[in-house]
Amino acid sequence: MSDLYQMQRTMRNLRRAALQRGVIGILDIGTSKIACLVLTFDGSGVSREADGVGPMAGQANFRVIGSATTRARGMRGGEIEVMAETERAVRTVVAAAQKMAGVRVDHVIACLSGGRPASYGLAGEITLASGKVTEQDVASVLAACDAPDFGRDREVLHAQPVNFAVDHRSGLGDPRDHSGNRLACDMHVLTVDADVIGNLAHCIRRCDLELAGIASAAYTSGRASLVEDEQELGAACVDLGGGGTSVSIFVKKHMIFADSVPIGGNLITQDISHGLRLPWATAERLKTLNGGVEATGRDDRDLIEVGGQTGDWEADRRTVSRADVIGVMRPRVEEVLESVREILDAAGFEHMPSQQIVLTGGGSQIPGLDGLAARILGPQVRHGRPLRIDGLPHQMTDPSFSSAIGLALFAAHPQDEWWDFEMPVSSYPARSLKRAYRWFRNNW
C-alpha cells in the first residue's frame, strides 16, 4: 500500500499548491452529464452575504467563478468506456468553464462514481509506551490496522480514521495528548477498481490537466446534501444517478459505509425505449417531462404524442398515455429502491441512532418518488438539494449537481485521511539518527 500512499500524498501536495495559487477545478464526470466548476480561493475567510448564501460554517472561503456542464460521452455505469470520447467531453466542459472564469485551470479534483466501490471497516490497536498519545502513536495505530485482502487490482480511494479509543474511552475525534495505556482506532477504507482510477487519471492527463485529488461520488454527494445534524446523528444519502445509484452512510460526520447499485436513470430510459418502442432521445424526453411513479386515473387519459421520423404515418402519429410511461418506470424504480434497501440492511442501517434517508441526484426528481421511497426504505425520507455555495449559478443548484458541489466542499475542507499522518517511525531509515540524538541528549 506504500505506492498508493505516495500517490495520494502527491495529490495532496498538488492540491495544496493549487489552493495556494487560488484556482482549482472541480470535475464531476458522470454517466449522463459532466460538470466542471472553477473555484477561486481568496483566502480572506470573510463571508460575503450574497444571494441568500450565509457564512456556511467556515466554508465561504471559496467562490465559484466558472461553471459549465455538458452531455457525457463515452461513459457507462460511472466508468470510462471510450477514452477519446470522454476526453472530448472533458475538453468541452473545461474550455467552457475556463472561458466563463477567465482564468486557466491547471489542477482538477475529480470524483468517481463507478468502479464497484467496496467499503471495509478496519480496527487497529497498540499499547502506548509513554502513557500518552503522541502524533507518532496515531500514525502507528493507523498502520496497525489489519487490512484484509482487498482483491486483485483494487485501489484504496478513501482511508479515513473514523473513531479513536484510549483505554475504555471511545468516540474520540482527536486522541492526541490523551493519557492512557492503549490506543485503538477504527478506520473506514473504500476501495475501487484500480483500472477505473487509472483510466480517469489518464483521461484527465490527456486534457493537459493535473489530477490534484480524487473522491468517491457517494461520499461527495453525501457531504453536499446532508445537513450538519444528519451527518452528526446518522443518515444515508442515496444518489440516484444516470449510470448507477450510490449509497453512503454518515455518522458522527464521517462516512462509515458506501456502496452502489449499478442501476440508474439510463436503464429507466432504456426500459421506456424498449417497452414503448421509442427512439432513445424521445424516451429520455418522455421520462424527464412526463415521468412518474404514482399513476392516477387522470394519467390514463393523458395522451402524449411521441411522433417519429420513420415516414410511416401510423407509426409517426402514435400516442402513449402517461399511465403507460409510469407503468414502465415504476418497476425499475422499485427495483432500485429495493437494492438500496438491501444495501442498507447489509450495512446495518437499522442499528443507527437516526435513520434519515436523503434522496439526491438527478433521479430523485421523479415526481412521487418520496412516497414510494418512504414505503420501501423507511419513514424518514426527504429530498436533498445540495448546499448553496457562493457564486454558483441557479441552474446548477438542482440535486443532480450534488456530487459536484460536494467535491467543491471536499476541496476546500478535506477530511483527515490515513496518508495525512506521518509514516510510523519504525519504517523510517532515519531511526538510527534519532537514537544517536537521544544518546547525546541523555549523556551530555
Partner 1 sequence: MASVTEPHRRAPQRRDPAPSRLAYRLHRMWLRPLWRRLVRLGLPAFLLAMVVGLWLSDEHRRAALNEGIAGLVDKVQSRDEFMVRMMTIEGASPAVDKALRAMLPVDLPASSFDIDLTALRLQVMALDAVETVELRIRPGGILSAQVTERVPALLWRHTRGIDILDAGGHRVASVTSRDMRGDLPLIAGQGADLAAPEAMELIDAAGPILPRLRGLVRRGERRWDIVLDRGQRIMLPEEGGLLAFQRLLARYREDDLLGRDVAAVDLRDPSQIVIRLGIDAQNTIRAARGLPLLAADGSLLPDDQQPGGDKAKDRG
The answer to whether residues 144 and 182 touch, using CB atoms and an 8 Å cutoff, is no
> Residue 306, interface with partner 1 (CB under 8 A)?
yes
Q: Is the Cβ of residue 94 or residue 336 nearer to partner 1 in the bound state?
A: 94
d(CA 344, CA 350) in angstroms, rounded, equals 8
Closest separation between CB of residue 98 and partner 1, Å? 6
First-last CA distance in the chain: 41
The answer to whether residues 225 and 385 touch, using CB atoms and an 8 Å cutoff, is yes
Burial pattern 143-168, b for ≥16 Cβ within 10 A else e, equals bbbeeeebeeeebbbbbbbbbbbbee
> Residue 289, interface with partner 1 (CB under 8 A)?
yes
Q: Is the Cβ of residue 165 or residue 295 nearer to partner 1 in the bound state?
A: 295
Closest separation between CB of residue 72 and partner 1, Å? 12
Rounded to 10 deg, the angle between the 322-347 and 265-276 helix axes is 150
Q: Is the Cβ of residue 2 or residue 395 nearer to partner 1 in the bound state?
A: 395
**Residue with grid cell 387519459, as numbered in its chain:** 301
Closest separation between CB of residue 79 and partner 1, Å? 20
> Residue 70, interface with partner 1 (CB under 8 A)?
yes
The answer to whether residues 287 and 269 touch, using CB atoms and an 8 Å cutoff, is yes
Stretch that binds partner 1, among 89-97, 148-156, 258-266, 269-277 (CB under 8 A): 89-97
> Residue 102, interface with partner 1 (CB under 8 A)?
yes
Of the candidate residues 270, 282, 365, 415, the single one contacting partner 1 (CB under 8 A): 282
Stretch that binds partner 1, among 112-120, 137-145, 299-307, 389-397 (CB under 8 A): 299-307
| C-alpha closest to that of 282 among 295, 265, 299, 269 | 269
d(CA 25, CA 106) in angstroms, rounded, equals 8
Of the candidate residues 51, 305, 312, 422, the single one contacting partner 1 (CB under 8 A): 305
> Residue 246, interface with partner 1 (CB under 8 A)?
no
The answer to whether residues 215 and 223 touch, using CB atoms and an 8 Å cutoff, is no
Burial of 414 (0-12, 13-18, 19+ CB in 10 A): middle
Of the candidate residues 123, 143, 172, 304, the single one contacting partner 1 (CB under 8 A): 304
Q: Is the Cβ of residue 122 or residue 320 nearer to partner 1 in the bound state?
A: 320
Stretch that binds partner 1, among 92-100, 131-139, 392-400, 424-432 (CB under 8 A): 92-100
The answer to whether residues 94 and 27 touch, using CB atoms and an 8 Å cutoff, is yes
Tally DSSP H helices, then E strands, for the chain: 14, 18
> Residue 65, interface with partner 1 (CB under 8 A)?
no
Closest separation between CB of residue 91 and partner 1, Å? 5
Of the candidate residues 271, 302, 334, 420, the single one contacting partner 1 (CB under 8 A): 302
What Rg value do the Cα atoms of the chain yield, rounded?
24
* Number of residues in contact with partner 1 under rule CB under 8 A: 29
Closest separation between CB of residue 34 and partner 1, Å? 11
> Residue 89, interface with partner 1 (CB under 8 A)?
yes
Q: Is the Cβ of residue 309 or residue 442 nearer to partner 1 in the bound state?
A: 309
Of the candidate residues 17, 95, 144, 172, the single one contacting partner 1 (CB under 8 A): 95
Of the candidate residues 9, 12, 76, 88, the single one contacting partner 1 (CB under 8 A): 88
191-230: which residues touch partner 1 (CB under 8 A)? 207-208
Closest separation between CB of residue 95 and partner 1, Å? 5
Q: Is the Cβ of residue 101 or residue 263 nearer to partner 1 in the bound state?
A: 101
**Alpha helices of 159-259 — where are they, by DSSP H?**
194-206, 217-225, 228-233
> Residue 286, interface with partner 1 (CB under 8 A)?
yes
**Residue with grid cell 420513420, as numbered in its chain:** 310
**Alpha helices of 226-378 — where are they, by DSSP H?**
228-233, 265-276, 280-290, 297-301, 313-316, 322-347, 369-377
Closest separation between CB of residue 306 and partner 1, Å? 6
Stretch that binds partner 1, among 93-101, 153-161, 247-255, 366-374 (CB under 8 A): 93-101
Of the candidate residues 113, 269, 273, 290, the single one contacting partner 1 (CB under 8 A): 290
d(CA 34, CA 329) in angstroms, rounded, equals 25
Positive/negative CA dihedral, 355, 360, 364, 365: positive
In order of 183, 307, 370, the CA distances from 269 in angstroms are 52, 17, 20
Main-chain phi, psi angles of 22, to 5 degrees:
100, -5
Stretch that binds partner 1, among 3-11, 88-96, 170-178, 427-435 (CB under 8 A): 88-96
Amino acid identity, position 327: G
Binding interface with partner 1 (CB under 8 A): 70, 88-89, 91-92, 94-95, 98-99, 102-104, 207-208, 279, 281-282, 285-286, 289-290, 302-307, 309, 319
